Structure 1
Amino acid sequence: RIILPCCLSHLSLSFSPATADTAQEGRDLFGYVGIEAVLDQMRRKTMKAGFEFNIMVVGQSGLGKSTLVNTLFKSKVSRKSCTPSYEEKISRTVHLKSVSHIIEEKGVKMRLTVIDTPGFGDQINNENCWDPIVKYINEQYEKYLTEELHITRKRRIPDTRVHCCVYFLPATGHRLRPIDVEFMKRLGKIVSIVPVIAKADTLTMDERLDFKQRIRQDLQASGIRVYPQKEYDEDVEDRIRNDKIRENIPFAVVGTDKEHQVNGNKVLGRKTKWGIIEVENVAHCEFANLRDLLVRSHLQDLKDVTHYIHYETYRVRRLNESNASVSGLSALPLENGITEKYEAQSQL
């Protein structure tokens, strides 16, 4: 038993672990520390500074990429929506176009950048049509790396890295096309890919299920890595949640920005002679699942995977190249400008 001196001499504490009452006395003595207030501090700083999210949409013309992005974020954020006199023209090569907007909801500001890829897959000869996209993604990594390596760095480095690539598959009902396989094999190593079946209302429910099953088989047979990858699950809870997502990939989606009256309520939907296809009704399509993945449940995880996995792989490779050039060795052999993470780390 220790008798505290001075003004606390009337209190005594026993450090013996004999009873739970003693521990309770200790908690009462020292009281509330307030560690949980750190969350409020982080929330205030994040709301004040805002954050960035960069999403790339890839797919041939006519699959509803712009409409789906507008539907996802309840805003006119596509390149078509931002250009009043815009006319769709099929370019001879892939030209990437990005549009940025500030979206605010309940005091939270997000700078959303949508990178569109008009011209992808629209030509008769689509050989190497993915090269401009690979180059663009790597250029954003290089830009971020350059800012990091400056002696005097900015307090907040602008983040233009692609956090997610939504790949639109035509609703053919067959299997993956060769161009789809080649693209996703190459880009799955440098960016998080989420495949979706565009305009899924053109398929019956049975056709949709069969098509999704064939696509999953093709993805596995080709070794294509789509988000969320099993190796990035941090714990059992993550694995259970992500397993449900992986069972539904690719998402069969329908996009529209038009509202209709259904049972007295306004809903987003496409009107047909058979009825109204409700975009946000999970019984009609999986748009809600895609939105939950990209915005409500995995947005921060997409950014973390980009920073700690894809960007880190690029950073290690570039630093290895710099070390090799300084020592007079040849640069590391690379395919399509990227290597697997473990290959890059093994060179350190």
Structure 2
Amino acid sequence: MSETLAESNDWGSLKTDVEGYVGIDSIQDQIRKKALKRGFEFNIMVVGPSGLGKSTLVNSLFRAKVSRRACSTEDSQADAPPIPQSVQVNLSVTESGVRLKLTVTDTPGFGDHINNENCWIPIIEYINEQYEKYLSEEISITRKKHIPDSRVHVCLYFVAPTGHKNFKDSTEIHLESNF
């Protein structure tokens, strides 16, 4: 205890030499292996009026039946009716040893009304709610080891090829998510 603060170690130097191999050069490989073992989470939100091919694009993109229609168990419910709330479909995809937990959030009935003024507000509220939920879990004192990620990573916005469209909703949504 006779050592003073001036004589103590600094972060930049060691008083003793390191004996043997430390392995700092392999830390990137260790992090990569850990991430591949755990897998990745990817959340997509598809937004647009009915009948534009949102489900078809997502099914083609991931070569799997991701849409609400494909996941229904009853034949009588071949086409799910548009509802005012979002529908989430979860899918696990493994390709070349990489696991992906895919969540597709569909917004049926978005933009199908005659007056679509401020129709984007529920979408933005949902995106912000997911970010706030993740942040509150991340900054909590008793944090979980693995925080479930429900944030919207990308928002696919579909525009009808016919007619005149006000792009106010798309400009508002792109401020909150990758668009």
1:88 aligns with 2:80: yes
TM-score (norm 1): 0.42
Q: Which runs of 5+ in 2 are unaligned?
A: 1-20
Cα distance, 1:160 vs structure 2: 0.4
1:119 aligns with 2:105: no
Matches within 5 A, 1:1-348: 35-85=24-74, 86=77, 87-91=79-83, 94-172=84-162, 177-178=165-166, 181-193=167-179
The one-letter code sitting in structure 1 at the alignment partner of 2:81 is K
Q: Over the residues paired in the alignment, what is the CA RMSD in angstroms?
A: 2.2
Separation in 1 of the partners of 2:26 and 2:95? 23
The one-letter code sitting in structure 1 at the alignment partner of 2:47 is V
The one-letter code sitting in structure 2 at the alignment partner of 1:89 is P
Do the aligned residues in 1 keep the contact of 2:44 with 2:156 (CA within 8 Å)?
Answer: yes
Comparing both chains, which one has the higher relative contact order based on Cα–Cα distances under 8 Å and sequence gaps of 6 or more?
Answer: 2
Separation in 2 of the partners of 1:138 and 1:184? 16
Separation in 1 of the partners of 2:145 and 2:80? 40
Percent of residue pairs identical:
54
Cα distance, 1:33 vs structure 2: 7.7
The one-letter code sitting in structure 2 at the alignment partner of 1:106 is S
SS in 2 for 1:169: coil
Separation in 1 of the partners of 2:32 and 2:64? 24
Cα distance, 1:34 vs structure 2: 5.7
The one-letter code sitting in structure 2 at the alignment partner of 1:115 is T
SS in 1 for 2:155: strand
Separation in 2 of the partners of 1:187 and 1:164? 11
Moved over 6 A (4+): none
TM-score (norm 2): 0.80
Separation in 2 of the partners of 1:38 and 1:156? 21
Separation in 2 of the partners of 1:38 and 1:76? 38
Q: 1:168 to 1:148 in 2, by over 3 A?
A: same
CA displacement, residues 167-221 of structure 1 (integer Å, 9 cap, x when unaligned): 112223x7x611xx1111211111111xxxxxxxxxxxxxxxxxxxxxxxxxxxx
Do the aligned residues in 1 keep the contact of 2:68 with 2:80 (CA within 8 Å)?
Answer: no
The one-letter code sitting in structure 1 at the alignment partner of 2:115 is N
Aligned pair count reads: 158
Do the aligned residues in 2 keep the contact of 1:52 with 1:111 (CA within 8 Å)?
Answer: yes
Do the aligned residues in 2 keep the contact of 1:90 with 1:122 (CA within 8 Å)?
Answer: no
Separation in 2 of the partners of 1:47 and 1:83? 31
